[in-house]
């Protein structure tokens, strides 16, 4: 498992899914590249501010920077 995206309807569901992926990753001996992780919240195509996701080990998955992020080498923003 390398690059992947997670989609859910609300904050509670995405936090649960991220925690599940983290547990699974640890079970198979992988670690999150936490510095490369980011979160973005879109509502009706508009970016909404979020404080990020706090993992059980107190690490934080930060919010995507305003200029977007690259996924598999492609810049993605709320404009794409």
> Considering just the CA atoms, what is the radius of gyration of the chain in Å?
13
3-class state of residue 31 by DSSP: coil
Tell me what pLDDT residue 78 has.
Answer: 62
User: Which pLDDT tens digit goes with each residue over 54-80?
Assistant: 887 888 888 887 776 777 777 776 665
Which H or E element spans position 26? helix 11-27
pLDDT at residue 1 greater than cutoff 70: no
Tell me what pLDDT residue 70 has.
Answer: 73
- Sorted by where each begins, the domain ranges of the chain are 11-76
pTM, whole model, 2 decimals?
0.66
Tokens of residue 44, six digits: 């009706």
Tell me what pLDDT residue 26 has.
Answer: 84
Nearest alpha carbon to residue 66 among 57, 74, 77, 80: 77
3-class state of residue 49 by DSSP: coil
Half-sphere exposure of 60 (CA within 13 A, CB side): 6
User: Which pLDDT tens digit goes with each residue over 36-60?
Assistant: 788 888 888 777 888 888 887 888 8
């Amino acid at each position: 498992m390398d690059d992947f995206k997670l989609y859910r309807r609300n904050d509670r569901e995405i936090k649960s899914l991220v925690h599940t992926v983290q547990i699974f990753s640890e079970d198979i001996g992988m670690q999150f590249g936490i510095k490369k992780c980011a979160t973005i919240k879109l509502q009706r195509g508009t970016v909404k501010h979020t404080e990020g996701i706090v993992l059980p080990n107190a690490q934080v998955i930060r919010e995507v920077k305003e200029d977007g992020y690259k996924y598999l080498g492609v810049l993605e923003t709320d404009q794409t």
